[in-house]
Chain A
Amino acid sequence: MDIKELNKIKEKYSDVLKKKRIMVCSGTGCTSSKSDVLLANLKKEVKAANKADILVEKTGCFGFCAKGPIVVIDPDEIFYEMVKPDDAADIVKSVIDKKPLERLLAKEQDKLVKKWHELNFYNKQKRIALKNCGTINPEKIEEYIAVDGYQALYKALNMSRDEVIEEISLSGLRGRGGAGFPTGKKWLFTKNSENKEKYVCCNADEGDPGAFMDRSILEGDPHSVIEAMAIAAYAVGAEQGYIYVRAEYPIAVERLTIAIKQAKEKGLLGKNIFGKGLNFELELRLGAGAFVCGEETALMNSIEGKRGEPRPRPPFPAVKGLFERPTLLNNVETYANVPKIILNGGKWYQSIGTKNSKGTKVFALGGNINNVGLVEVPMGTTLREIVYDIGGGVPGGKRFKAAQTGGPSGGCIPAKYLDTPIDYESLSEIGSMMGSGGLIVMDESKCMVNLAKFFLEFTVDESCGKCPPCRIGTKRMLEILTRITEGKGKEGDIEKLERLAENIKKASLCGLGQTAPNPVLSTIKYFRDEYEAHIKEKRCPAGECKALTQVHIDPEKCKQCGICAKNCPVGAIDGEVRKGPFKINQDKCIKCGICITKCPFKAISK
């Protein structure tokens, strides 16, 4: 492949992209809601209508997962939400008639919205890493080439290695896996390590619960990561690359496999790429369900075919990494930014974001929020804008209590910090961290002590066991937290938790242990009163800790209809219809709360 051939493909497929295309989201979320059946139905309908000029394509995640499955009609960008397989015939008809199908359009403030970029959800977003998700078919390399794919690689190969690294440094790009280390510096260190054999790796072991941006990038735009890795290989002087991806992501694995194969066929991976002397091979390696493998040194052990236990640092991977050779390791989202930076220049990227955090960040919005999904915003966007303007606020009229970022390594952000502009520094200042970008919103019904316990259970389970502070320390913390949520908390427990936390942070070998106490520390910092209520008053203010709550039926309000008893999954409600108020048998009750939601007269409460 030379640049002429690349441009030829680009030209040909740019025209294809301008045609009438029905784009069906084929990310994990929409696929689980039967978008695969929908895709097949649409193809059938188009064939039946004998309209070869209408194309039906699968595409990557649009991000608006709450409204999936999503279908967009290009080039008009008409956005259909919650589409069912049976809607296929109507959609094809509407495309032929050139009349949007109103019943599938999104509604905002009682107004129908036609185009996806007009939705509030997309208004404040700036899609750089997610640019191609939703616009191209990720299983066709030609479509990636049509949107400037592999042009950045060609451009980079015509620059010196130092110039490439200089461009990345200038952009201000920092590691999107969570720690935020300057990417340019990492590349430079690896380049400067003298060794014939070097490696380039991609960390796609997205383990933080609540984060799915890497998954979506790999599913929607796998070639951007491959191209970036080839650029990195050239810059640091490597000939072999590995993508370490979770086995739990079968669609991502499939698309990556296809993408690597196509890139090889086109000569964009392999020997003497673009005739510029770069040799680069890329292999996939599958994770096997160990959270700690997201830590860079553990990940390398795992690629080497060992137990994924971390190694002490230094030596850093840039000096001695995979197979004891200098290794560059970046996260999926970091790589996804690279081709755009090379094409548009570091200066362009630098103009987006805040003083020390440049560019955009993808967040996975989840939990108690209306618009669950994937959003990409410039650094410095406030939490309020993300939660309310883009996320549509908290459902059910409930109050926002906290947002959790950074997964089991991060912390909770209470309502008073809603106006904090989000970047690496501001988040760590308020006791949380950027992490990989999971952003879980919690409403007032969530108990913060229980949440801290949830995260500790996670780390205790996932601690690899190599170093005692993490292995034993987190276990002791979990025991204390369990005690507190069961109503057996003692005076001094909070202080004990704090002391343990500080020691674990200082003494653990890797990032997992060093950050494991963060969810506990941040909840103590902002919700100490909740801890105290559990310990001193044996009360769970949020009503979530089962040992500390009882469900009651108000005899005054009970209309003796029996709906509660009918819906109780464990038969814990006694009484007969119209023969006196119903009663809950506290020994049987599992406090699931179903009766509370079912009672038409709001007679039941915790």
Chain B
Amino acid sequence: MKHCEGCDGCKIDSKLETIAKKYKGVKGGIIGALHEVQDTYGYISTTAQKYLSKELDIPMSEIYGIITFYSRFSLKPKGKYNIQVCMGTACYVKGSEKVLNRFKEKLQIEEGQTTKDGKFSLEAVRCIGACGLAPAIVINKEVYGKMDVKKVDELVEEYSKK
């Protein structure tokens, strides 16, 4: 049997069911539901979109429109460790570009990409409000401040071993 792209075999697990149930009938609840799907699975699969569309009674096209509008939602799985380099002004002034470039060099990927082994993905993100620690990055939910090229090397090494 051939599945459409991004389809994981049309399996609906109980987690997805719980999420849909929670947001059924909540005014404007779709974004909350998508947040939970994204956090649970690391991305929003076609299956999940179809299921939410049916359960929350929102057209697929609209759900797709929402997912692609907001940068936090992703249609493809992200790496095990998602590295977000803050590109806010305070970080920029303190050299976040160098930090980002070093990650690119080290991981051999561009922004928005994931390493072949699925371990790291790299993103340049908007101000994370940790300006006191500029330049700052986030790996999954951990914030690392006062970054420089050397610290990038150390972190990549540390997380590679994990």
A contact residues vs B (CB 8 Å cutoff) = 28-29, 31-33, 65-66, 68, 206-212, 215, 246-250, 285-291, 302-309, 323, 364, 366-368, 372-374, 404, 407, 438, 440, 442, 446, 454-455, 458, 462, 464, 569, 590, 592, 594
Contacts and interface: CB of A to CB of B under 8 A. Distances in A.
Contacts of B94: 367-368
Interface of B: 27-32, 34-35, 58, 62, 65-66, 69-73, 87-94, 98, 101-102, 105, 125-134, 136, 141-145, 149
Nearest to B127: A209
B90 A285 contact: no
Given A372-B131, A440-B93, A289 B145 contact: no
Given A32-B130, A212-B132, A455-B89, 7 more contacts: A32-B142, A66-B132, A247-B72, A289-B71, A303-B28, A458-B126, A569-B102
Nearest to A455: B89
Contacts of A368: 93-94
B66 A207 contact: no
A285 B31 contact: yes
A367 B88 CA distance: 10
A248 B72 CA distance: 9
Of residues B73, B128, B141, B142, which shows the largest number of chain A Cβ atoms within 10 Å of its Cβ?
A: B128
Contacts of A592: 98, 149
Given A28-B143, A33-B145, A285-B32, A454 B130 contact: no
Contacts, number: 146
Nearest to A213: B129
Given A32-B133, A206-B129, A367-B94, A407 B89 contact: yes
A286 B141 CA distance: 16
Contacts of A308: 69-70
Nearest to B98: A592
B92 A285 contact: no
B81 to A, nearest CB: 17
A368 to B, nearest CB: 6
A455 B93 CA distance: 12
B130 A440 contact: no
B129 A372 contact: no
A304 B93 contact: no
Contacts of B32: 285-286
A354 B8 CA distance: 62
A376 to B, nearest CB: 15
Contacts of B129: 28, 206, 211-212, 215, 246, 248-249
Nearest to A286: B35
Nearest to A292: B69
Nearest to A440: B89
Nearest to B34: A288
A28 B29 CA distance: 28
A59 to B, nearest CB: 16
B93 A31 contact: no
Contacts of A464: 69
A210 B88 contact: yes
A306 B126 contact: no
Contacts of A31: 143
Contact of A288 (B72, B91, B102, B136): B72
A365 to B, nearest CB: 8
A210 B32 CA distance: 27
A360 B158 CA distance: 45
B93 A288 contact: no
B93 to A, nearest CB: 4
A303 B134 CA distance: 31
24 contacts: A28-B129, A32-B130, A32-B144, A32-B145, A33-B133, A209-B89, A209-B127, A248-B126, A248-B128, A248-B129, A249-B129, A305-B31, A308-B70, A367-B134, A372-B90, A372-B134, A373-B132, A442-B93, A446-B93, A454-B89, A454-B92, A458-B87, A590-B101, A592-B149
